[in-house]
Amino acid sequence: MTQAETPSSSQAVAPHQIPTLTQDMALAQVPQAVHVALDARVAEKQALMALSSDLLENLRPEIDRLTADLVQRTLKSVWDKRARTFQDVEP
């Protein structure tokens, strides 16, 4: 698809110029500019999701370390509380 002309940010778009899309509309009835805008939104979403995946993959070692640290501290706290409650073992 080719790049459609869009109004500049200084030009206001009247509400009657914005098409209302319904499920009953045939694909051919959707204006070309709307197709282009929707395609751009899909591409933007895909790029954002790819960035999210890359960030998570790069952060995975740190997430694993933080998770392990949290689990160890939580279990130590549980053990310390149990030891105080039953006074049967050293914390």
Q: Where are the domains of the chain?
A: 30-86
pTM of the model: 0.44
CA-to-CA separations, 71 to 16, 68, 78, 79, in angstroms, rounded: 57, 5, 10, 12
Look up residue 61 and give its two tokens: 């070692």
What's the pLDDT at 58? 94
What's the pLDDT at 50? 92
Give me the tens of pLDDT residue by residue for the chain, a chain 91 residues long: 444 455 555 577 788 877 777 777 777 887 888 889 999 999 999 999 999 989 999 999 999 999 999 999 999 999 999 888 887 666 5
